[in-house]
Structure 1
Amino acid sequence: MLFSIAACTHTPKSTDAMATYPSDDVSGIDDDEEIAAFSQNQTDVLSAEWEPMLINRNKKRTEYTVVSDQGRKVLHARAAASASGLMQKLDIDPFLDSRLTWEWRISRLVESADNHDRAREDAPARVILGFDGNKDNLPFADQIMFEAARAITGREIPYATLMYIRARKAPVDTVISNSRSGRVKMIVVATGKDGVGEWRAFSRDIAADYERAFGEKPGRLIAVGVLTDTDNTGETVEAWYRDIQLTPNAPIPVPETAR
């Protein structure tokens, strides 16, 4: 599954498996822009900051709604042989706001999923980050891929995409490369049946995770998204997402003896 950063004002022209989310033209967006909180919705209508993220115009879309859970608004996703997500445009220096925190809950595992296998690459829950960068420094094959994607969709794709995923069996902290592009990496943050049906909280240093996945420092964070998908396996799964937040990394305490 190859993710492209593109404005989501229309459906992509191609039937290739490319998602669309925001353009890396981020002029007019402030550095201090925050990720829109699902909990702040006063109704069941999602705030306008979250836009559709399409994988393929011929694929069935995952259903996303705002629901009440334990007295607070959360995002509910239901995928039934479907694949689409939601995204928000950002323009943030990940070294200033580099800790990403969120909570999710899943109804069940995608039992036949395998994120190492293109034909079974599904996940009940994902949080997705898109990063800017200088594509001229990439290998020629990657540049050709970017140009082909732009010709097909009419939009730019991100320099790099980092996904945090809920896996079926891959060990936690495994880094998985997308089968179509090395510019998309997945990091497993939860796996197996432990915690299925329960709210689980996560806190990740996204700058450190990016460096481990791509072997370089990240550019500006230009998009955040969520995705629950079962288009490859044909299964049905539900997920719930609480607020996704970016906060500065806490300073490391200095021992008294070192002062």
Structure 2
Amino acid sequence: MKRFLIAVVALCLSTACVQPPIRQSTMEPVPPMAERLDIFSSNKTGGLPKGWEPLIIHKTKKRTEYSLVTDAGRTVMHAHAVAASSGLMQKVDIDPFARPWLNWGWKIGRLIDSADNTDRNAEDSPARIILGFDGDKDTLPFADQIMFETARVVTGHDFPYATLMYVWENKAPVGTVIPSPRSGRVKMMVAASGSEGVGEWKNFARNVVEDYEQAFGEKPGKLIGVGILSDTDNTGETVEAWYGDIHLKQKLK
């Protein structure tokens, strides 16, 4: 899976790209930052949910297909990736200390047999939840600042200070932090691992403040983007995933 489009510094670092694609018309209104996530189950089937935008990894990449469908009596997001990589995202403005508990459910049809999230040439996952955090980029090492600046010049918009992803991994144990093989500003937290539960709905509750501190060694800034991503562009495989509602809550219930 490719991440940020950085023409000089690196190839695409896709999962850190939790900002919307560049708008084609300057007259198009920019949606406000949401204080709460719009949930999939409140939408009708057959299209995309309100409040969510396509997360384009690279204009030359084949896109993952997303659509709202009915599963187990509720509306959920279905993803179908065939050698593809794109996602959906929503811009938010949320204090993670006020609402640290991330709750979601997902289901995958199969593992990606040849995927390896430690290998930049095999970094794919059937299901990912992506969180983008704000922060002071001036405090980062010079190489990271150059990367961000190059990304801004090339793509026309800024990227998050840090990106934390929850992924379904093939082998690494749940709770493992996997640094991105492309950028130190992207970390993957293993939420599910192996074949157990494949084809079944799995529900999760993670404390994003604790997970962020474990991954980055510092306290998180504001949460500015939430996304989903099913990608198979590196392995060329085919995968399906279903995403339930995503919530950020004050307390674990």
Same fold (TM over 0.5): yes
Q: C-alpha distance in 1, partners of 2:11/2:117?
A: 19
Q: C-alpha distance in 1, partners of 2:144/2:216?
A: 14
State the match for 1:154 in structure 2. Answer: 156
State the match for 2:178 in structure 1. Answer: 176
Q: What is the Cα deviation at residue 3 of structure 1?
A: 4.5
State the match for 1:29 in structure 2. Answer: 33
**How many residue pairs align between the two structures?**
240
Q: What is the Cα deviation at residue 34 of structure 1?
A: 1.4
Report the TM-score, using the length of structure 2 for normalisation.
0.90
Which segments of structure 1 move beyond 3 Å, counting only runs of 4 or more? 1-4, 12-16, 18-21, 26-30
Matched, 1:17 2:21: no
Matched, 1:203 2:223: no
State the match for 1:56 in structure 2. Answer: 58
State the match for 2:26 in structure 1. Answer: none
Q: C-alpha distance in 2, partners of 1:68/1:27?
A: 27
Q: C-alpha distance in 2, partners of 1:204/1:174?
A: 13
* Partner SS for 1:118: coil
Q: C-alpha distance in 2, partners of 1:37/1:116?
A: 31
State the match for 2:165 in structure 1. Answer: 163
Q: C-alpha distance in 1, partners of 2:32/2:192?
A: 36
Residue identity in the other structure for 1:101: N
1:190 corresponds, among 189, 192, 196, to 192
Distance 1:125 1:250, change over 3 A: closer
Q: What is the Cα deviation at residue 16 of structure 1?
A: 4.0
Q: C-alpha distance in 2, partners of 1:187/1:52?
A: 23
Identity rate, percent? 58
Residue identity in the other structure for 1:17: C
* Partner SS for 2:47: coil
Q: Any conservation in 2 of the 1:205–1:249 contact (CA below 8 Å)?
A: no
Residue identity in the other structure for 1:71: G
Q: What is the Cα deviation at residue 22 of structure 1?
A: 2.4
Q: C-alpha distance in 2, partners of 1:18/1:64?
A: 21
1:142 corresponds, among 141, 144, 152, to 144
Q: Any conservation in 2 of the 1:2–1:181 contact (CA below 8 Å)?
A: no
Q: C-alpha distance in 1, partners of 2:116/2:156?
A: 31
Q: Any conservation in 1 of the 2:94–2:223 contact (CA below 8 Å)?
A: yes
Q: C-alpha distance in 1, partners of 2:129/2:90?
A: 12
State the match for 1:257 in structure 2. Answer: none
* Partner SS for 1:21: coil
Q: C-alpha distance in 2, partners of 1:111/1:87?
A: 26
Q: What is the Cα deviation at residue 109 of structure 1?
A: 0.1
Q: C-alpha distance in 2, partners of 1:202/1:173?
A: 12
Q: C-alpha distance in 2, partners of 1:164/1:78?
A: 19
1:107 corresponds, among 94, 105, 109, to 109
Q: Give structure 1 stretches of 5+ with no counterpart.
A: 5-11, 252-259
Q: C-alpha distance in 1, partners of 2:99/2:132?
A: 14
Q: Any conservation in 2 of the 1:2–1:178 contact (CA below 8 Å)?
A: no
State the match for 2:232 in structure 1. Answer: 230
Q: Any conservation in 1 of the 2:100–2:207 contact (CA below 8 Å)?
A: yes
Q: Any conservation in 1 of the 2:43–2:75 contact (CA below 8 Å)?
A: yes
Q: Any conservation in 2 of the 1:124–1:230 contact (CA below 8 Å)?
A: yes
Q: Give structure 2 stretches of 5+ with no counterpart.
A: 21-29
1:35-69 deviations in whole A, cap 9, x for unaligned?
11110012422223110001111110000000001
Q: What is the Cα deviation at residue 27 of structure 1?
A: 9.7
Distance 1:55 1:237, change over 3 A: same
1:117-153 deviations in whole A, cap 9, x for unaligned?
0000000000000000000000111111111111111
Q: What is the Cα deviation at residue 28 of structure 1?
A: 5.2
* Partner SS for 1:202: strand
Q: What is the Cα deviation at residue 29 of structure 1?
A: 3.4
The answer to which of 242-251 and 53-62 deviates more is: 242-251
